[in-house]
Amino acid sequence: MDFRISELLIPAISEPVESGHLAFATCTVLVTLLSCVFLFIRSGTSVNLPPGPKGLPILGNLLQMGSHPHRTMTALHKVYGHILNIRLGCIPTVVVDSPQLIAEITKEQDNVFSSRPHMTFTEILAYDAHDFAMAPYGPHWRHVRRICVHELLTPKRLENTRKERIEESRCMIMEVAERANKGEVVDLRDVLAGVSMTVMCRMLLGRREFAATGKQPKDFKHIIHELFRLMGALNPRDFVPALGWLDLQGFERDMYKLRGEFDEVLDAIIQEHRDLESGKLPGGKKNDFISVLLDLPGEDGAPHLDDKTIKAVTIDMMAGATDTSAVTNEWAMAEIIRNPQIQRKLQEEIDSVVGLERNVEESDVSNFPYLMCVVKETFRLHPAGPFAIPRESMADTTLNGYLIPKGTRVLINIYSLGRSSETWVDPLIFQPERWANENLTAIHDSGFRILPFGNGRRQCPGYNLGTTMVLFTLARLLHGFNWSFPPGVTSDSIDMEELYGCTTPLRTRLRAIATPRLAPHLYSQ
């Protein structure tokens, strides 16, 4: 959240503004300023809000966030406690980081806290909340989520798409083996992002890449990277709407440009599916998520979901699945390579189940309890996203005796939760063994000590697929290769800092040396 105050306060108006727009803008500015002043005054009155640092009029605490807001909040929790009240521009915001408060928000009062705030991203890239990850709580969200859970992410459908995941993991292993045989360093970020993207492209769209006719796969990577950049961008308009119409940092312009690219690619893919189904194109119907969505029966022969919703849901699934699993895997690999004893123990576990004469199958992963401990420890110490997707309160309520007015934005600080010395012994040490006596089959932690997939109505619908993708990819990489750092890099010198965004990957991409450990023919199977 690197806002430059000069950018916010000295607008650069580069285009002429029509008088109607100017009047509208002036009204917006006035209304926003008045509500900011009201909130500023209220924060100084005796209303029993949670404690927190005092902010500036209009900007609130925005400028105090720094480049790593999750760390700033973690430091603030130490001063003010597990629930803190801040103001991001005009947005009253509550941040929590304790198991008890998270249980309260996502379980006991889930009915109050299950909405999402309206943001520019929702308007432009979620097709005006036609998706379900960013959509407010209500009939549309319920309807689309039900379709995704009951039609797309069912155990049966995941079983039916297993072949795609196995083929893509084989491609990943072949690519790593090729680099290893040439003595090249492997860029694990590229490898891990590549495999999660191609797997999701195949499951969602029935093809290996996202490119429309004539486009190259690199266009797809660009589109997805741009999506993540804009998802993580803290757009001033979302916090101080009065300033947003100026689009000072060009976020809105970039979002519209990206939506144009999505439209081009996804409209072509949807049309291709229709043509395959009607026989206009040869090849027959595909077995992917888009086909399922197009096939859902509507009333009187009309499609069940309109194209806008199909596109918005596709973007949700792509965004929800790819970066989260790739970032989790990159952190896990960094810790595994830093700790050779963990790598050895994992390889012994995998060898004892699989042996050295065949490759790991997806169905093997339930037999790797120590690998599950490593993944849970990664979720704890290096959560894919530092905050869960923001929620918004739908009614006045109380938390720990403090008033939480309707419309408050709620951030769950997953990063701070996993590093609390009140919950964890030696919280900063990566220690998979701490999970050894736990129920490893349960992905969710009943005590809310970690929250990798959220909880309640808004919990991640892809947790089964996500966990499988993470475990299977790691198992294949560790069964196939011994991993070490390139010359000159050591366990102590590797950069273990994170880069802030809606997901937090390692600040420096992970590069490592892979040494094959299986018979050569297994690298092409």
Alpha-carbon distance 511 to 179, whole Å?
12
The residue range among 76-84, 176-184, 395-403, 454-462 that interacts with ligand HEM, by the rule CB under 6 A, is: 454-462
Residue 195 touches ligand HEM, criterion: CB under 6 A:
no
One of 310, 321, 512, 513 touching ligand HEM (CB under 6 A): 321
Name the burial class of residue 85, with classes exposed (0-12), middle (13-18) and buried (19+) by CB atoms within 10 angstroms of its CB: buried
Alpha-carbon distance 257 to 482, whole Å?
43
Strand partners, 87: 92
Please check whether residue 385 is in contact with residue 405, taking contact to mean a CB–CB distance below 8 angstroms: no
Residues 416-435 interacting with ligand HEM (rule: CB under 6 A): none
The residue range among 247-255, 322-330, 435-443, 474-482 that interacts with ligand HEM, by the rule CB under 6 A, is: 322-330
When the beta carbons of 166 and 389 are compared against ligand HEM, the nearer one is: 389
Residue 324 touches ligand HEM, criterion: CB under 6 A:
yes
Please check whether residue 211 is in contact with residue 219, taking contact to mean a CB–CB distance below 8 angstroms: yes
Closest to 237 measured CA to CA, from 391, 135, 319, 122: 122
When the beta carbons of 133 and 478 are compared against ligand HEM, the nearer one is: 133
The residue range among 23-31, 86-94, 118-126, 319-327 that interacts with ligand HEM, by the rule CB under 6 A, is: 319-327
When the beta carbons of 407 and 516 are compared against ligand HEM, the nearer one is: 407
One of 117, 206, 454, 480 touching ligand HEM (CB under 6 A): 454
Alpha-carbon distance 365 to 468, whole Å?
8
Q: Compute the least distance from the CB of residue 279 to ligand HEM, in Å.
A: 30
Pattern 469-508, binding to ligand HEM, x per CB under 6 A? -x--------------------------------------
When the beta carbons of 120 and 455 are compared against ligand HEM, the nearer one is: 455
CA end-to-end span of the chain: 46
One of 224, 384, 411, 489 touching ligand HEM (CB under 6 A): 384
> Is 148 among the annotated ligand-binding positions?
no
Dihedral angle, C-alpha 289, 387, 126, 312, nearest 10 °: 0
Other CB atoms closer than 10 Å to residue 452's CB: what's the count?
25
Closest to 423 measured CA to CA, from 455, 380, 379, 385: 380
Closest to 148 measured CA to CA, from 375, 318, 17: 318
Alpha-carbon distance 338 to 336, whole Å?
5
When the beta carbons of 91 and 317 are compared against ligand HEM, the nearer one is: 317
Residue 105 touches ligand HEM, criterion: CB under 6 A:
no
When the beta carbons of 3 and 415 are compared against ligand HEM, the nearer one is: 415
Residue 287 touches ligand HEM, criterion: CB under 6 A:
no
Residue 376 touches ligand HEM, criterion: CB under 6 A:
no
Residue 132 touches ligand HEM, criterion: CB under 6 A:
yes
Residue 459 touches ligand HEM, criterion: CB under 6 A:
yes
Residues 49-88 interacting with ligand HEM (rule: CB under 6 A): none
Please check whether residue 312 is in contact with residue 487, taking contact to mean a CB–CB distance below 8 angstroms: no
Strand partners, 392: 115, 409
Residue with tokens 């951030």: 411
Residue 165 touches ligand HEM, criterion: CB under 6 A:
no
Residue 315 touches ligand HEM, criterion: CB under 6 A:
no
Residue 147 touches ligand HEM, criterion: CB under 6 A:
no
The residue range among 43-51, 162-170, 295-303, 448-456 that interacts with ligand HEM, by the rule CB under 6 A, is: 448-456
Nearest-Å Rg of the Cα atoms of the chain is 24
Q: Compute the least distance from the CB of residue 318 to ligand HEM, in Å.
A: 8
The residue range among 58-66, 73-81, 422-430, 455-463 that interacts with ligand HEM, by the rule CB under 6 A, is: 455-463
Alpha-carbon distance 424 to 421, whole Å?
5
Alpha-carbon distance 117 to 90, whole Å?
13
Please check whether residue 116 is in contact with residue 390, taking contact to mean a CB–CB distance below 8 angstroms: yes
Q: Compute the least distance from the CB of residue 196 to ligand HEM, in Å.
A: 9
Strand partners, 303: 297
Residue 145 touches ligand HEM, criterion: CB under 6 A:
yes
Give the 3-state secondary structure of 422-442. Answer: CCCCCCCCCCHHHHCCCCCCC
**In Å, how far are 78, 111, 403 from 84, measured between CA atoms?**
10, 21, 12
Residue 316 touches ligand HEM, criterion: CB under 6 A:
yes
One of 50, 55, 206, 452 touching ligand HEM (CB under 6 A): 452
One of 85, 115, 161, 325 touching ligand HEM (CB under 6 A): 325
Tell me the angle at which helices 307-338 and 369-381 cross, rounded to the nearest 10 degrees.
100
Instruction: List binding-site positions.
Output: 460
Residues that bind ligand HEM (CB under 6 A): 132-133, 145, 316-317, 320-321, 324-325, 328, 384-385, 388-389, 452-455, 458-462, 465-466, 470
Instruction: List binding-site positions for heme.
Output: 460
